[in-house]
């Protein structure tokens, strides 16, 4: 049926939703000062915003047009600024996006999935990744 998103678009939108939820959970209850003083949280949030922008860049134009409330262009732009100038990331801007823009993004994505008849999946923890093993023999371990 025309206008319906493909499985890849749904997967990218789900990735955006998962990362937005994660980033929001990282700073829940924090002030800007607490965020600023916690390098791990700053880096984790920036990584999640980068993932949102990467997924946004992969959403088809048709699906992006079907969800006009999603600021696809801005998400991609933020991803590029974080990815290409990581040592100069403006964490005040990251905080602003996290504090003001993530919840509306989460709401829009949840609304879209419900309209598509998709079951919402609550993801409050990262996906399990495979165990990474170093190449070669284990020396002294």
pLDDT in tens, 74-88: 899 888 888 887 678
DSSP code string of 15-70? HHHHHHHHHHHHHTT--HHHHHH-HHHHHHHHHHHHHHHHHHHHS-HHHHHH-TTS
Q: What is the pLDDT of residues 63-120, one digit of tens each?
A: 888 888 889 888 998 888 888 876 788 899 999 999 999 999 999 999 988 888 876 6
* Cβ atoms 16, 56 nearer than 8 A: yes
Confidence class for position 14, pLDDT limits 50, 70, 90: very high
- pLDDT given for residue 83 in this prediction: 83
Please indicate, yes or no, if residue 133 is contained in any of the structural domains.
no
Tally of domains within the chain: 1
Between 140 and 66, whose confidence is greater?
66
Q: Say if 131 falls within a structural domain.
A: no
pLDDT of residue 67: 85
132 in any annotated domain: no
Range of the domain at 60: 7-115
Residue 109 located in a structural domain: yes
Residue 51: inside a domain, yes or no?
A: yes
Contact 57, 73 (CB under 8 A): no
Q: Is residue 123 part of a domain?
A: no
């Amino acid at each position: 049926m025309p206008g319906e998103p493909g499985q890849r678009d749904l997967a990218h939108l789900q990735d955006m939703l998962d990362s937005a939820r994660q980033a929001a959970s990282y700073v829940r209850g924090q002030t800007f000062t607490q965020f600023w003083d916690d390098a791990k949280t700053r880096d984790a949030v920036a990584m999640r915003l980068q993932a949102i922008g990467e997924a946004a860049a992969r959403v088809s134009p048709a699906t992006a047009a079907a969800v006009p409330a999603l600021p696809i262009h801005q998400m991609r732009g933020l991803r590029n600024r974080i990815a290409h100038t990581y040592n100069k990331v403006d964490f005040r801007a990251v905080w602003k996006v996290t504090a003001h823009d993530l919840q509306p993004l989460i709401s829009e994505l949840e609304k879209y999935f419900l309209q598509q008849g998709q079951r919402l999946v609550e993801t409050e923890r990262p996906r399990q990744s495979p165990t990474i093993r170093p190449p070669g023999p284990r020396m002294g371990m």
